[in-house]
């Protein structure tokens, strides 16, 4: 579990949120299906929701409606996004849980001296509310959602901003995520990247181009240490 005795003092580990730190799909799909009901569209399954997640609420709705052959215009998508957020906020952590081993891995990274932050395409206020509800918010030096930067993932600005707000530098940082957006953002920022194989992927985990693919959170502390050695 631990970082093999290596000091990670001065290092920063940036985590994606949905599908990386927390299994949020059950609460996301419930809010999504309430939103789809407003337009009389078929419900998305939990498996579909895991594929649709990754670029924020608006893209989630856009992908789900497209799966039913419906393409909403921008004003309608705006209205549905507002409705989704209202539904989601009502029970933001009803069925969402940290992935197995997550909290222990965060403890190990902190014990080794690493600073932690969140770099997510979820809105910052929703990210903070979710992490508050799960008792995890205090673990992170910075929580940087898509609305906190001019250019969200896969743009490198998002990752670099999160690392900087956590007091780190790119050459002593690692991005941990589950999607191509995470990997592309990290690579463009010249930041090492770990992909978790249990997350919400838009392609096979080993095809995404990460430096390491982790099958369980207990592998992440030593993987971070190896990448920064």
Return the residue matching tokens 């209205």: 79
- Residue 33, C-beta contacts closer than 8 angstroms, at least 6 positions apart: 43, 44
Helix (H), strand (E) at residue 23: strand 22-23
- The token pair that represents 114 in the structure block: 């690493």
What are the two backbone dihedrals, phi and then psi, of residue 69, each rounded to the nearest 5 degrees?
80, 20
State the DSSP code for 97. E
37 has catalytic annotation: no
Return the residue matching tokens 């600005």: 157
Number of residues assigned to the chain: 229
Peptide bond into 175 cis (omega under 30): no
CA 53/CA 149 separation, integer angstroms = 19
Q: Which residues are catalytic?
A: 16
């Amino acid at each position: 579990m631990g970082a093999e005795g290596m000091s990670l003092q001065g290092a920063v580990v940036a985590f994606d949120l949905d599908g990386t730190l927390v299994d949020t799909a059950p609460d996301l799909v419930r809010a999504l299906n309430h939103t789809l009901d407003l337009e009389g569209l078929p419900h998305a399954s939990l498996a579909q929701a895991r594929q649709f997640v990754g670029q924020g609420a608006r893209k989630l709705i856009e992908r789900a409606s497209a799966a039913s052959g419906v393409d909403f215009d921008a004003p309608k998508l705006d209205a549905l996004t507002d409705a989704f957020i209202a539904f989601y906020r009502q029970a933001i952590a009803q069925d969402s849980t940290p992935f197995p081993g997550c909290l222990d891995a965060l403890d190990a990274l902190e014990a080794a001296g690493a600073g932690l932050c969140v770099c997510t395409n979820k809105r910052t206020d929703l990210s903070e509310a979710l992490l508050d509800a799960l008792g995890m918010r205090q673990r992170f030096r910075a929580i940087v959602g898509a609305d906190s930067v001019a250019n969200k993932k896969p743009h490198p600005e998002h990752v670099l901003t999160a690392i900087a707000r956590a007091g780190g530098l790119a050459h002593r940082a690692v991005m941990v995520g589950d999607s191509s957006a995470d990997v592309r953002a990290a690579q463009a920022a010249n930041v090492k990247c770990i992909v978790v194989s249990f997350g919400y992927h838009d392609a096979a985990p080993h095809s995404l181009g990460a430096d390491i693919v982790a099958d369980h959170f207990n592998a992440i502390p030593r993987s971070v240490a190896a990448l920064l050695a």
